């Protein structure tokens, strides 16, 4: 299982994460987030990375064109989308394939899917069908806690039973898809559930679990996570 640290706002945290075991580093351009950064600020932060492919741009665009534009402005090739339909994501993939030259990397699309605890009956069935639809067109899915139709930034933990079911639904239609688990992840939860997490998920996504305050990462907490990854 690999690790993504999200919500970067400071150059020193970016560099510390890259020097540690962190595989992906997320930068949030969603205004409702406490860790919101402007596109030009994100571009400056990414310049601190030796490996620019570790960068993930977290956005909630109104349309496909906005997503493509922000990718080009930051030169980030991995997009974590908190909006857009299956059809719009297919369009992004098509445009990227049409425009890039032979030396450019394909865009990688991670679609965030919010999950509310207590889903039952037809609502649960509908969510699983939504997940299967996104799994058919995306490179990865990220499951996060949903509040009032919005996912991410809550710090609340997802019940492991339903998120495991969601991961299985995605894998049933796309065995190659990568699965991220987010939502209040921290060293304690990883340690207590490491065997199951390793079996089901490809990435653990950590944000507030390594912070002293929103956007202020704690290097010791990052190291604690890294030690669990290699232990």
Task: Report the mean per-residue pLDDT for the chain.
Answer: 93
Above 70 in pLDDT, residue 153? no
pLDDT mean over 49-78? 97
Under the banding of pLDDT at 50, 70 and 90, the label for residue 231 is low
Residues 6+ apart with CB under 8 A from 118: none
DSSP calls for the chain: -EEEE-----HHHHHHHHHTT-SEEEEEE-TTSTT---HHHHHHHHTT-SSGGGEEEEE--SSHHHHHHHHHHHT--EEEESS--HHHHHHHHHHHHHH--TTSPPPEEEEEEEE-TT--HHHHHHHHHHHHHHHTT-SEEEEEEEETTEESS--PPPPHHHHHHHHHHHHHH-TT-EEEE-SS--HHHHHHTHHHHHHH-SEEEESGGGEEETTEE-HHHHHHHHHHHH-
Distance of CA 94 to the CA centre of its chain: 22
- Backbone φ and ψ of 107, nearest 5°: -65, 140
pTM as predicted: 0.94
Residue 87 CB-density burial (10 A; 0-12 exposed, 13-18 middle, 19+ buried)? exposed
Across the range 169-188, mean pLDDT stands at 96
Q: What pLDDT was estimated at residue 222? A: 95
**Mean pLDDT throughout 199-222?**
96
Q: Quick one: average pLDDT of 184-189?
A: 94
The predicted pLDDT at position 156 comes to: 82
- Look at residue 174 in the predicted model and tell me its pLDDT: 98
Asked whether residue 118 carries a pLDDT value surpassing 90, the answer given is no
Q: Looking at residue 223, what is its pLDDT? A: 94
Residue 227 CA to residue 156 CA, distance in Å, equals: 23
The residue to which tokens 């640290």 are assigned: 5
Phi, psi of 129 (to 5 degrees): -70, -40
pLDDT score for 35: 97
What is the token pair recorded at 151?
């996912």
Q: Are 77 and 106 in contact (CB under 8 A)?
A: yes
Going by pLDDT thresholds of 50, 70 and 90, the confidence category of residue 103 is: low
What are the structural domains of the chain?
2-230 (3.20.20.70)
């Amino acid at each position: 299982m690999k690790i993504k640290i999200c919500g970067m706002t400071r150059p020193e945290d970016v560099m510390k994460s890259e020097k540690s075991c962190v595989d992906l580093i997320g930068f949030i351009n969603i205004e409702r987030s406490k860790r919101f950064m402007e596109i030009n600020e994100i571009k400056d932060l990414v310049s601190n990375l030796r490996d620019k492919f570790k960068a993930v741009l977290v956005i909630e665009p109104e349309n496909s064109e906005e997503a493509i534009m922000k990718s080009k402005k930051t030169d980030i090739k991995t997009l974590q989308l908190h909006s857009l339909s299956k059809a719009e994501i297919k369009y992004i993939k098509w445009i990227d394939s049409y425009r890039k030259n032979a030396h450019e990397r394909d865009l990688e699309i991670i679609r965030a899917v919010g999950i509310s605890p207590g889903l039952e009956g037809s609502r649960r069935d509908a969510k699983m069908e939504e997940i299967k639809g996104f799994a058919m067109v995306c490179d990865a899915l990220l499951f996060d806690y949903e509040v009032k139709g919005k996912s991410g930034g809550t710090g609340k933990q997802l019940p492991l039973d339903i998120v495991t079911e969601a991961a299985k639904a995605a894998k049933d239609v796309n065995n190659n898809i990568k699965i991220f688990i987010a939502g209040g992840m921290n060293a304690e939860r990883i340690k207590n559930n490491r065997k199951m997490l390793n079996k089901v998920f490809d990435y653990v996504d950590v944000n507030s679990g390594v912070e002293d305050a929103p956007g202020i990462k704690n290097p010791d907490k990052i190291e604690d996570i890294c030690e669990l990854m290699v232990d």
